[in-house]
Amino acid sequence: MPHDVLVAGETLIDFVPERAGSLEEVPGFERRPGGAPANVAVAIARLEDPPLFWTRVGDDPFGRYLERTLVDHGLPDQFLERDPAAKTTLAFVTHDETGEREFTFYRDGTADTRLEPGRVDDATLSDCEWVHAGGVTLSSGSAREATLDLLERAAAADCTVSFDPNLRSELWPDEGAFASVVGDALAYVDVCLATGTELAALGFDGDSPTAIARAAVERGPVHTAVVTRGAAGAVAVASADAPWPAATVEHPGFAVETVDTTGAGDAFVAGAVAALRDGDDLEAAVTVANAVGARATTAAGGMTALPTRAEVAALLEAE
């Protein structure tokens, strides 16, 4: 089976709390497979042919559980690495009564920080049309160099490179470090999908989400910037350098019965990648992405309520 897309980055266990409250107060947590790139890869596999997924888990029960989950979702095991000398990353999630989430990571020297440059070979990249990565593996360890190396070689191989900065402030010494390292990565990126807060942290200023997106494409080489806005949908700007027509689009999102927004942004990314690869223009792609993102909020967990193409089509028809 051809794998036209490669997704790279962390997979980890999210421990989600049984109720609102601080880590000190909440007694119970449920184990869920997570990690933004893993969510993206699984969401793409639901929409179209499964992508390749490059990740690294520990040789421990959590790592084996994640590996099995990813394979059960159709991802090939070719680039699922098991690290005999490190544990799998854990993240404890807490939220307040409004649903505002915080993360506490157990990620010191864990397997996904130990991805090494070169594991995905140039021959694989030259067969890929699209490569997607995120900011978490840029935060520490050899994974930083591994991610930068992958993005650089993907750009050199003429892949379309998409990127989600995924700012988790707990993983960075300060915002300056995030802006500097992610700024280096953006030198290889064509399509940046982010929240307005993330783009502001990267130094893209503007008095509206559209102005922020415009600032991102003006700096280049990013030619397409998409700003997600939670329940309010998303805006996007593509410059004349994009392979799809230059455009500025806004979509108000889809009203759904939201249960849990974990992974909504990752599902959105998957929808955008699948649609743009399919030849959709930016407006159509943002509409599909919003539909996939909205659908993902209708059940608990980042890999649970992911729609197929047919389900997306039905949601669009009902619009």
The residues that touch ligand ADP, with contacts defined as CB under 6 A, are 195, 228-231, 233-234, 253-254, 256, 258, 261, 264-265, 268, 290, 293-294, 297
Picking from 178, 88, 97, the residue whose alpha carbon sits closest to that of residue 135 is 178
Convert 99-127 to b/e letters by CB count within 10 Å (16 or more is b).
eeeeeebebeebbbbbbebeebeeebbee
Q: How far is the CB of 267 from ligand ADP (least distance, A)?
A: 7
To ligand ADP, the closest distance from the beta carbon of 295 in angstroms equals 8
Please say which residue, 119 or 229, places its beta carbon nearer to ligand ADP. Answer: 229
By C-beta, is 81 or 164 nearer to ligand ADP? 164
The answer to whether residues 238 and 224 touch, using CB atoms and an 8 Å cutoff, is yes
**What is the nearest approach in angstroms of ligand ADP to the Cβ of residue 101?**
9
Which 3 state secondary structure label does DSSP give 131?
strand
- For residues 229 and 277, which CB has a smaller minimum distance to ligand ADP in the complex? 229
Report DSSP letters for 179-213, one per residue.
HHHHHHHHTT-SEEEEEHHHHHHTT---SSHHHHH
Peptide bond connecting 221 to the previous residue in cis, omega within 30 degrees of 0:
yes
Measured distance CA(319)–CA(317) in Å, rounded:
5
Query: Which CB, 111 or 274, lies closer to ligand ADP?
Result: 274
Burial-class residue 309 by CB neighbours within 10 Å (0-12, 13-18, 19+): middle
Least distance (Å) from ligand ADP to the CB of residue 289?
6
Coil vs helix vs strand at 73: coil
- Chain position whose Cβ is nearest to ligand ADP: 265
The two tokens of residue 116 are 């090494």
Nearer to ligand ADP, 43 or 86 (CB): 43
- Name the residue nearer to ligand ADP (CB basis): 121 or 257: 257
**Rounded least distance, CB 299 to ligand ADP, Å:** 13
C-alpha 286/C-alpha 20 separation (Å) is: 32
Question: Considering the complex, what minimum distance in angstroms separates the CB of residue 225 from ligand ADP?
Answer: 13
Q: Which is nearer to ligand ADP, 234 or 303 (CB)?
A: 234
Written as six digits, the tokens of 259 are 């249960």
| C-alpha span between 190 and 155 (Å, rounded) | 9
8 A C-beta contact, residue 34 and residue 42: no
Residue 253: CB minimum distance to ligand ADP, A? 5
- How far apart are CB 193 and ligand ADP at their closest, in Å? 8
Q: Which is nearer to ligand ADP, 17 or 233 (CB)?
A: 233
Contact 237, 206 (CB under 8 A): no
Do the Cβ atoms of 125 and 95 come closer than 8 Å?
no
